[in-house]
Amino acid sequence: MKAIQITETGGPEVLKYVELPTPRPGPGEVLVKAHAIGVCMPETLVRKGIYRWMPPLPVIPGIEMSGTVVDAGSGVRGLRVGQPVFVSAREFKERAGCYAEYIAAREQSLYPLPDGIDLDQAAGLSNYQVAWHLLNTALKGFQYESVLVLAAAGGVGTALVQLAKAAGKRVIGVVSSDARAAFARAQGADAAIDRKRGNIVDQVKQLTGGKGVDLVLDPVGGPGMIALFDCLAPFGQLVLYGRLEGSPQGDISAAVETPPHRSLGYRYFTMHTLDDSPELRARGTRELIRMLADGTIKVPIHERIPLADAPRAHRIFESGQVMGKLIMKP
């Protein structure tokens, strides 16, 4: 089979398109032929050698794939040849293996898909997994009616906009251009703020009549995060789920306690909190598959790139220009 393999870490050029033996399914395993492969942040971190859960080299990177079962080992009962499936390496011991034409996996670690589902879109569900758990698990029952989504035109941002809107919330997206603002509104955002055209806090206050929002979802961190507490209404909460600009800078305690007193909350979220919660991961993923099948969510595909051009895919992904989901085709 053809696959992308990393034998050394570095820039996109270390993603080598190679010929490897096609795996054979063992007892309890099935062989999946890839239809589409998602491009995600963890693969760029693996490529650079800075992923905290780094698999040993050489490795086939990739954490998500959609495809079809083409062979089954002994003892397989739940999946049939011809069954479409979603493959998430979050269910594997090592978070890798999907940048390939084929993958063998335990049937219990795969998610059956209904016949007729759009397999290109299904290959982009990893972003929606993060978004679903941000809104349904990490909040621990926190009640909100309005939400500010930073990086709203990106992969997870798009998912957050769609899921929050499906839940009936008012969504304000933060973007960096007119095109990305239009894209965020097309995904369901009620309003979009261009962070390059003015202070985010001032724009939020203007849109909310000075009240602020109940929830802020931030993958950025860095020096600008502290100011986002001023976007919050009384009893509001800020959730940080990434560090695109580094660790937060400043005194979070002081930001929460600054008058007027609003009893604000702060949480840091990572999907790795769910590493030992397979039932909870499965519940969220099954719900997302249902929502994709019935049209509640729709994964917007930015571009389809051949697997052989994985280095180009990573360059595009890291350019910051992707809106929605970038996928590769084997």
Q: Is the pLDDT of residue 178 over 90?
A: yes
Q: Is the pLDDT of residue 77 over 90?
A: yes
> For the segment 185-199, what is each residue's pLDDT rounded down to a tens digit?
999 999 999 999 999
* Residue ending a domain, choose from 226, 253, 272: 272
For the residues 247-276, what does the mean pLDDT come to? 94
- 210: alpha, beta or left? (left if phi > 0; alpha if psi -120 to 50): left
Strands 325-329 and 301-306: parallel
Specify the CATH number for the domain of residue 162: 3.90.180.10
CA dist 145 to 76, 152, 214, 297, Å?
45, 17, 6, 20
Q: Is residue 287 part of a domain?
A: no
Same domain assignment for residues 158 and 241: yes
Same domain assignment for residues 249 and 165: yes
Please name the helix (run of DSSP H) or strand (run of DSSP E) that holds residue 100, with its range, or none.
none
CA dist 313 to 83, 126, 230, 247, 257, Å?
28, 17, 37, 27, 44
> Where residue 24 falls among pLDDT bands split at 50, 70, 90?
very high
Strands 102-106 and 29-38: antiparallel
Same domain assignment for residues 204 and 164: yes
**For residue 115, what is the DSSP state?**
T
> For the segment 101-126, what is each residue's pLDDT rounded down to a tens digit?
999 999 999 999 999 999 999 999 99
CB atoms within 10 A of CB 17: 15
User: Could you tell me what percent of the chain has a pLDDT over 70?
Assistant: 100
Partners of 295 in beta bridges: none
Same domain assignment for residues 86 and 141: no
Same domain assignment for residues 312 and 253: no
Taking the C-alpha atoms of residue 214 and residue 206, their distance in angstroms, rounded to an integer, is 15
* The pLDDT of residue 268: 97
Q: Are 140 and 112 in contact (CB under 8 A)?
A: no
Q: Is the pLDDT of residue 258 over 90?
A: no
Q: Is the pLDDT of residue 39 over 90?
A: yes
Nearest to 167 by CA among 188, 138, 150: 188
Same domain assignment for residues 135 and 267: yes
> For the segment 157-177, what is each residue's pLDDT rounded down to a tens digit?
999 999 999 999 999 999 999
* Residue ending a domain, choose from 272, 288, 317: 272
Q: Which residues of 34-48 are buried (b: 16+ CB within 10 A; e: fewer)?
A: bbbbbbbbbbbbbbe
SS3 174: strand
* Residue ending a domain, choose from 254, 272, 290: 272
User: Could you tell me what percent of the chain has a pLDDT over 90?
Assistant: 98
Q: Are 38 and 85 in contact (CB under 8 A)?
A: no
Same domain assignment for residues 131 and 120: no
Same domain assignment for residues 82 and 138: no
E runs forming strands in 186-250: 191-194, 213-218, 232-240
Q: Is the pLDDT of residue 326 over 90?
A: yes
Q: How many domains does the chain have?
A: 2
Structural domain containing residue 53: 2-124+299-329
Same domain assignment for residues 244 and 265: yes
- CB neighbour list of residue 275: distance below 8 Å, 6 or more residues apart: none
* The pLDDT of residue 73: 97
Summary mean pLDDT of the chain = 97
Same domain assignment for residues 312 and 323: yes
Same domain assignment for residues 133 and 114: no
Report field, pTM of the whole predicted structure over 0.75: yes
Q: Is residue 282 part of a domain?
A: no
